[in-house]
Chain A
Amino acid sequence: MDSGKLWILVGKKLSGEATSLELHQLEQFLDAGFSEIYPVEEIERYWHQNPLTPPKDIQAYLDKKWDRFERKLDELAEVDEQESNDTAPYRSFRPYYWMGAAAVAILAVLYSLLHVTPTPYTAAHINEVFAPDRGISKIKLPDGTRVWLNSGSKLSYTKEFGDKLREVKLEGEAYFDVVKDPEHPFIVKTHTINLKVLGTAFNVRSYSNEELTETSLVHGSIQVNLVNSSEKEIILKPSEKLIVSNKVAAPQPGSKSTKVNEAPLITLRYTHKSVKDTLPSEALWLENKLAFDSEPFMQVAKRLERWYNVEIQIKKEELLEKEFTGRFENESLSEALSALRLSYNFDYRITGNRVIIF
């Protein structure tokens, strides 16, 4: 008689896989005399005895293994830091980063040195300068013009810079203090606007992932042309700021409907400057301060993202259009969020470098 079926049933019973029908079947097998031929009981007892009693020194053994493993993790974290240095947070919220803090700090310094020095490359002789994700790059252009490049921004110019024109391309935000030279107009090109200046100081914010382009003039005067309708020319006077909607300036092909209720194409406003600040709030990032005056939360969130190197997800739609005013210097992210929610209530949860606002 084949006992294969019996043992399959025993196995199922012992491992808890058997259905009630199978248990019944097994009973029948055993009653029919199988229990006398085969040591089913012994095997059941063997199966149910405590399979593993860990040795007493298991904790010490595991401690040793963990220590060794943790060293491997640390090495790995350092390699990761090196590889993704441009996204490495300068101020980290993750405690274990502090272990490698010295090494990371040195790398970060090396990195910014490398990238602040204009590195010529490609046949077109384009110089590109990047600002790291959590830092400002200070650049002196060949004509002596000083540029502060805000985090995550890029400034590029060709070798011909200064021959006839002084032309730079900007992606992101920068503050310019332009050396006066009427012979060679200074031109800033962004994806929405072109600026022509003679000698002046101004701030341009034109991140491609934001909805607005802002130009704030500190002193002097600038002439602004829109990329999409160059006949429109606007002269900006000191303390004025120009806001251009990126949506309208760069219309999506195929979207015919003109949205009447959208923010106007161009807005002229005054820069905000509080008595104790030396610069208008639009340029306060130069002094390592994060400031905004009556800015919609959508923009505020983008700036918080760059400032704290986090990713913000907003799940409360009504919040997007609400305007916020604030000034932050040494505050932590949660301090900043706690302050902001005083003007319009919202909840937030910070996990690692992700923030959910709801």
Chain B
Amino acid sequence: MTDQELREILIKVSFDEDRKAFKRLFFFYYPNMLKLASSFVKSNEEAEEIVDDAFIKIWQNRSKLYQVNNLKVYLFVCVKNLCFNYLEKKKRLPIISIDDIEFDPAEPHVYPEQRLFFLDVQSQVEDAVKQLTPQSQLVFRLVKEEGLKYREAAQVLNLSVKTVEYHIGNALKKIAEKLTVAVNKKK
């Protein structure tokens, strides 16, 4: 979807309350939002509920939607906030900090096709990513898989750009260590 198309969709949703346009947003962003929600809450059903709630909130605020400049960041922040609210309600988190969030290693939305290429490197890297701190994992996913800018990832997670820089560097360093160990073992 180009920026221009996205802009037109937002205007249609905002001014014409166009559900078809909204459906396109839903189809375009649902998978990624679900992935983000799944990294916060454990069960897939809960994650789906949260993403539905996020879309409902966005529909309810549709009249202001045309003012949103960066929809992806807007959606991610919305999902993140709903996840935190949800976790707080469930009393799993007395104090909110993403360092305390447990990640489910059985990440439900890794598509099997992904594993076909670079199987060796791929699995090494995935192991390394899973061993990162939750915060580093999240930053890494937002930047690498969602293609967010550092500034955007920082905005979603309430971090500074410097911190995002650090987490990416740290993640790459850990991945590199894992790969080096693997290569040395082979030798």
Give chain A's interface residues, CB within 8 Å of chain B: 3-5, 7-12, 14-17, 38-40, 42-43, 45-47, 49, 51-55, 58, 62, 65-66, 68-70, 72-73, 76, 94, 96, 351-352, 354
Asked if A38 and B114 sit within 8 Å, CB to CB, the answer is no
Task: Report the separation of the CA atoms of residues A72 and B56 in the bound assembly, to the nearest whole angstrom.
Answer: 8
Pairs of residues from A and B, 4 with the lowest C-beta to C-beta distance, nearest first? A8-B169, A11-B168, A7-B169, A351-B15
27 contacts between A and B (CB under 8 A): A7-B173, A7-B176, A8-B169, A11-B165, A11-B168, A12-B165, A12-B168, A15-B143, A15-B168, A17-B149, A38-B176, A42-B179, A43-B175, A45-B118, A46-B122, A46-B125, A47-B144, A49-B118, A54-B31, A55-B113, A62-B27, A72-B56, A73-B19, A76-B56, A76-B60, A351-B15, A352-B15
Say yes or no: A54 contacts B111, CB within 8 Å: yes
In the assembled complex, which residues on chain B have CB atoms less than 8 Å from the CB atom of A43?
Answer: 172, 175-176, 179
CA distance A9 to B31 in the complex (A): 30
Question: How many A-B Cβ pairs are below 8 Å?
Answer: 109
B152-173: which have CB < 8 Å to A? 165-166, 168-173
CB distance from A230 to the nearest CB of B (A): 46
CB pair A351–B113 under 8 Å, yes or no, is: no
How many B residues, CB 8 Å from partner? 42
- Pairwise interchain contact B121-A46, C-beta atoms closer than 8 A: yes
Enumerate chain A residues within 8 angstroms of B60, measured Cβ to Cβ.
76
A4 to B169, CA, bound (A): 7
Q: Is the CB of B180 within 8 A of A52?
A: no
Report the separation of the CA atoms of residues A40 and B149 in the bound assembly, to the nearest whole angstrom: 21
A51–B172 contact, CB under 8 A?
no
**Residues of B participating in the A interface, judged by any CB pair closer than 8 Å:** 15-17, 19, 23, 26-27, 30-31, 48, 52, 55-56, 59-60, 111-114, 117-118, 121-122, 125, 143-145, 149-150, 165-166, 168-173, 175-176, 179-180, 183
Q: Which B residues touch A351, using CB under 8 A?
A: 15-16
Q: How far is the CA of A263 from the CA of B60 in the complex (A)?
A: 44
> In whole Å, how far is A30's beta carbon from the nearest beta carbon of chain B?
13
- Residues of the B chain whose Cβ atoms lie less than 8 Å from the Cβ of A94: 17
B172–A10 touching, CB < 8 Å = yes
Q: How far is the CA of A352 from the CA of B27 in the complex (A)?
A: 24
**Nearest chain-B residue to A76 (Cβ)?**
B56
Q: Chain B: which residue is nearest A44 at the CB level? A: B172
Q: In the bound complex, how far is the Cα of B171 from the Cα of A45, in angstroms?
A: 15
Residues on the A chain within 8 Å of B15, using CB: 351-352, 354
In the complex, chain A residues whose CB is within 8 Å of the CB of B30: 62, 65
Contact B114 A52 (CB under 8 A): yes
